[in-house]
Structure 1
Amino acid sequence: MPKLKSHLFISYIASYLLVLFLPLVVINGLFSQRFILAYRNEINSKVQADLAQLAAAIDRELETMSQTASEIRLTMDLPAFSFLGDPLASRDAISRLSAYRTTNPLIEEVVLYPAQDDFAVASSSSCRKDLLVNQLLRSPRLSADQLRKLLETVEVPTALSHVEWKGTPGYLCMVYPIRTDYQTLAGSCLFLLPEASLSRLLEEKMGNYSASTYVLDRDGRPLFSSFALDSLSPDALAQGEALPEGRVVVDGEPYFAGSVQSGLLEWQYISLVPENQQLFQQLHTVSRELVLTTLLVVLAAGALIFVLMRVNYTPIRRLKEKALRIAHEEPAPHRSELDLISVALDTLSSRNLEMAERLESNAATIQNIYLQRLLAGRYATHLDFNRAAAECGLALKSEWYFAASVRVTPPETNLEVFAEQLQKALAPQMECCYIFTLEPGRILTVNGIRQDQQSEIGELYEQARARLSRRMELSVTVGLGSVGRETAGLPRSMMEAGQALDYRFVCGNDRTISIGELSLPGTPARYPHRQFEKLRNALQAGNEPETTAAVEQIMQYLESSNLPLFTAKNVCFELLNTFSRQLRPDDGLRCEAENSLLSLSSLDTAQDVLALVRELRKNLNKTSAPPSDRRGTETLISEMVEYVDQNCLRCDFSLQEMSERFNMLLPNLSQFFKDKTGQNLLDYSTSLRMNRACKLLVETQLPLKELGYQVGYYNVSSFIRRFKQTQGVTPGDYRRMYSTQQDPVGF
């Protein structure tokens, strides 16, 4: 290979290197991961074991304190103890407490708090109880009264952390109840343990890990800790982000977490070992070195693969030259060998497919042509058709035939699949051949059937239609033509099928309509003039019951009279038009009704028209109610007169605006105003304008254009024409005639 410009050559080398590289990387990664994971598990195991030993050691100390409290109960008669009454007994108690403190290095002070005496006894002295709880012993989370109540009513061993003893903070106070033989509370025994000593005990066990160790009571409150960091408190630990393998992240730093709960007082011991120890860093360094070694091995193997590929590439280059000759293409630097070979194979495959499509297309086209000729009446019998269509494999066997017209919604449905399914559904009962039409969503079928099955045609087609509608989730409507002997009657049957399908406007979609359901040709159908006249009168009068009755009569006539399609659409057209004329021009339902009038064919059924009419009627009931239903007549007419007086001089004033203001149809508004005032609404507003114009003509010297604008006319010509109609003279003549008069002569 003289030049290494082949994309295939480079891709092969890259794939071989990838096959070599991936296993090595996966193996190294798994090895490093398993090794580090094993070490982490070992650390976790040791941390857990040491925490368990630590918990056991502290439990032993606590158990010793509990036994000490029991010995005090056995050796001292606390119910009868009185410091003032028997000083010698008190001195003996101090000696005993001092001995207990001396034998346990963790305990710095032991205090006996009798329930029946006013004095408390310590290992070094005695004092009054009030002095003890108010000054000597203080707890950051308990007041003096709360502390006294705890010492006098303690039921179970209780730990108080961070207490202050004789002014020195940093003590853990353990309070144990002392009971009599009858289990009544005789007092309590307090053991004061320096938190520094307890922290040293934690450090002895967990210091090798540089761990931060915390001891929490049963309620989750911290008691004491070791190596506690400012940013790593028990509260921060509780809010830390948990990770797998016993790890937590606190303040962005990863730690190994160990936790043990003691069985004595249910204390929880938590230890956090930082991951950034030196040994972990060494492990990561070894992992990086292993990855680098892997890369070097891959590079060396890649060089060897490169040499071997140059030797093995020769047969592929020769195959490329043959592919170029087949595809009749010039070599291109951006085309790989496999691309050229694929092009050559595609060329051969496309030639084969083209030939197969030509054969199939010719066969389908020829079949469609023969079926169209059949529907056109070219073949008198099915035998004539079979002889003519033998070359394309079409053959009919029945003696009775009919046509069907099928409409499928939505129109973008794959009609070929639907037609095949329809053919299969009808195959057991009848012959069926389908023809696609130019109308979207519509096909024609030629059907052959036995004579004894003629009465079952509608039922068979309805079953197939319903089954396909459910299975394919489509809306399917079928029109059936009449059945005739042999194929000579198919043209007439096809026309009848189209008429039956169009009759869905009256009968509705999603059904099978036979030509027999339609009214016979020439049958006269009376138009419902009387019902429409009744409807118009009811709408004008605003009579809702009569309106409803008239609409129902028209719809009942439409559904029961088997009208021809043209007549049925005319009835629906007039029904929509009658209602739309009663709505205001800006009403949304009127726009909808007008759109339906312009494209009535978009409403598939008369039921759709009825639904729209009912919506129109609801809106009409809201807008055409008589004024007396809404407010008092006198109040309303007064408001109307006042509205005209205040607004008629505006140029943009209109009666339509006023009808919208009072929520009335314009004809109803005009009739109401005339009935109540005896004057036409337009004449009244014009008289107000002319009176104002007469006054301005006499009292001012305004130009006619400005004067007309002030009395509500944009166009001066319109003003002059209206003024002359009402006053008999032009505005200029009027000004000259009455310029000396004080009061204008009005209309």
Structure 2
Amino acid sequence: MQTITYRIFLKYLISHLVLLLVPITITTFVVFGFFVDRLQEELIAGNLNTLDKVRYSMDEQLKQVQQMTNQLVVEDNSLYPYRISDNWGYKSFGIVRELKRFRMHTPFVREIWLSYRGEEVVYTSSSVYSRSMLADRIYRFEDWPKEKLLQDLNAETRTTILPPATDLNSGERYMRMIVPLFPYQNYTDATMVFLINEASLHSLMETYTPSSGAVWILDQNGRPLTGIGAELGPAGASVAEHAALQGDDPNQEWTIDGKSYYFFLVQSELTGWKYVTVLPVNEAMQKVEQARQFYLYGVVCILAFGGAIIFFSLRWNYWPIHRLRLASDRVLPARTKGLNELETVQYALDTLSSQNRLLGERVKSQSQAVKRQLLLALLKGEFDTEDELRVYGEENGFPISGSPLATAIVEFPAGASPGAYPSAEEMEKLAAAPFRAYGMEHFEMNRYVLVFMTDKRDLSPEQFRSSLNQFRDALCASAGGVVTVGAGSISDITGAPRSYLEAKTAIGYRFIQGVNRTIFYEDIPVRSEVAEEYPHKNLKVLKLAIKSGNTGKINGSISGIIGFIRERQPPLAVVRGLCFDMIRIVDGGWREMGLNEQSPSEYPDIFDLERLETIDEFERLMLSVSADLSRAFDCGPAAEEPSGARSAEDMLQYIQRNYRNSGFSLQDMSDHYGMALPNLSSYFKENNGLTPLEYTTSLRMADAKELLVSTPHTLKAIAEDVGYNNVCSFIRRFKQLTGMTPGEYRAGSKEGGLPGRQ
């Protein structure tokens, strides 16, 4: 056994060493065969690219200067009101301010001068000076004496650039760009001078250029403007002379005074300037030689360390298998004795695979329950935004995207057995593009509810009809029998309950239109007649009354809607729609008042509205809504300012004791202190700076952030821990306050991307 182990070890050791040597040997031949030429090519390309970056950056800065000049004088013409003013103080202040504003937009420019023909002053971005003072005291350049300066300000007719020179007053070196202004064709009435600090030019050039060479900028006439690293190469005059001889060739080898240089040249199409890099050849090739030596050292190290690693890893090549067997025995002891390591692991894998299949079946069953719960919440109107729907679905392992949607009810013949027709999952696969379908069984026998969603925002009704008819045809072919589909209208996430009611109405209309067809709610004739008489005014009054807390108008608008129903006798579908609209208005009113999380939870959902059969039931429901609202806005003696045990401090402690309780509500708090809810909110905010809801939410959000970071709990569990019995409300509120969903906050905290928890 030992001999066999030793032979296997040698075999694997030799084979691994060969595998290590083969690529290293091939790579060595390739590197030494092509390394120098390729590196020289990369050196040339890299330096030309770097030089072009300098050219591009300089062009961009000069473009900004040109654009600034054009905007200041022609496009914006913001100087004109000050130019024509007779008020000297207003004129000088305005022009200096505009020049200063434009200079701040271009940090590349140190100072801007503006000289108008016929005026004895020069406006600058810092002040106003007479021409003589500017030339004598403010700026003095050796190559730009006073006479020449004044002449350039008065008679310059084309853009001129003077190379950097030292200002004798400040000691700074400036390049001067003299730009005549032509507000009218062939007529110049002013001259602008831009002072560009040579240090700014050098700073821009040093950002890109190598430290071992010299970089020069030559103007359009081939004269040196400025350069860096001049001590590392020939003088500027020699560089300019060679640049004139080089022509359009971007790179050459240049020998001067017995020393060889790489000479790179790029010319700007914008300014005609030439950008030159002079790099000593020996220094460049020295890096090549160093790279070659480093490569050889690297090969030796790889062979040494690689061989050692291979040796020791193969020396203990059976140790991981032994440990794996021990782990397999601990997790799942083998029932059969005498199994070796591989057989033991194989037994564990087979057993775990079988268990995994059983677990998968359970997860699939649970997934269907999660999907049903999600669709029920969607049809009940518990989602306000697509983000809430998406986050809730992902949190529960059923990703679903919010988008334009429509609800449909599929009905099979009453006498058919449940197994004779496709399941909800099979129906989902039959949805025609561009829709995706999500389905579940209806409460009634032989019926299914399907929600059709699409990413196409501009979907037309005709496209929806065509897609739904294709779906019904495919379903008929799959089922081999009669299929009737009732379809509601296309809506957004918040309109899902109404679309369901419309689908329920449409499927009920099969009594008139017949079965084995698609019935669209829009095709029901009564819909257009009722729309003309729909009590929109009463609904609008109800919304305003809730917002203002006027219980009289609330009761009046509800009475008006009930009167409309009794007088007009609209279809049951309209009555259900009215009830749905009113519930949404009430919930929206609470939301606008900042009390949406405290709105009554006993209001019916869309499936309760579906079961309304009489106007009396509707009236009782509306009276219940009115009673809830009147209770919330009741302003009796309790509206007086609390004292003693009802102090603001006591209210703070009350909230701190109860905010984690999901049954806690501000209405209960107002009852506890004998105050109307609006008065309680106003008093609390006056004394504490926040409304009771804002304070409660701040406590809950602080706890939620801590739990998201420190625990692996699900969003549902965290929502319940901090006092929310509805995870959708928790997600919505969290995103409103933090700008991100709880899941995004948790992910950001793990990546270290959050500034800190509050």
Same topology, TM > 0.5: no
> Taking structure 1 as the reference length, what is the TM-score of the superposition?
0.32
> Taking structure 2 as the reference length, what is the TM-score of the superposition?
0.31
Q: Which has the larger radius of gyration?
A: 1
